[in-house]
Copies of this chain bind each other. A is one copy, B any other.
Amino acid sequence: MGARVIVSLLFLFLIFRSNVDAANKRIRNRRPCKQLVFFFHDILYNGNNAKNATSAIIGAPAWANKTILAGQSHFGDLVVFDDPVTLDNNLHSKPVGRAQGFYIYDKKDIFTAWLGFSFVFSSTHHKGSLNFAGADPLMNKTRDISVIGGTGDFFMARGVATLMTDSFEGDVYFRLRVDIKLYECW
């Protein structure tokens, strides 16, 4: 019986250790604990569309202005946005929240941007917010950014969001599909 106890304690010790290690190392489950799909719609101010515009250039390099996107892949343009978030790809669907934040075009020879923004939900479906940050090499079919936190229904969330350009019309309108996979849910 003594031997059995020792073996048991050894087992327990091993389980315990594996847990401690698991906490920051490994055996993390790559199955998402929550999956969500949204669309958001960005209409950039161009001098003539103040009524409909949902975003505007607020920073630009020395060689550009704030009404027309800069040359060289818009390098240096900082855009702030408050875009409707919808459940499908229709701009006129009832929004379930707003995408609020900014993007900065950050490269001269190809279109790419850096994004910091939140989804702020205010619907019967979701309350709370999800916060995002990351690089958006927007000529790629899909781009992954980080879900860096959340509040309300998305308390303490972390995960990855995959961006896809679902549609665009010149420099004025684009629509992003956002596939959110949360791997930490509380």
Contact = CB atoms under 8 A, between A and B. Distances in A.
A151 interface: yes
B18 A27 contact: no
A149 B132 CA distance: 10
Contact of A107 (B22, B82, B105, B148): B82
Interface string A155-177: 11011100000000000000000
A137 B20 CA distance: 34
What bracket does the count of chain A residues touching chain B fall in?
35 or more
A117 to B, nearest CB: 7
A144 interface: yes
A53 B19 CA distance: 49
A23 interface: yes
Contact of A106 (B47, B81, B135, B160): B81
A173 to B, nearest CB: 17
Contacts of A102: 104, 106, 114
7 contacts: A12-B15, A16-B18, A19-B22, A45-B61, A57-B62, A75-B82, A134-B151
Given A24-B29, A25-B29, A81-B106, 15 more contacts: A24-B28, A28-B156, A56-B76, A57-B62, A58-B76, A59-B59, A62-B65, A100-B106, A100-B135, A101-B104, A101-B106, A114-B117, A146-B150, A146-B151, A151-B160
Interface of A: 8, 11-12, 15-16, 18-30, 33, 45, 47, 56-62, 65-67, 75-78, 80-82, 98, 100-102, 104-108, 112, 114, 116-118, 120, 128-129, 131, 133-135, 137, 144-152, 155-156, 158-160, 183-186
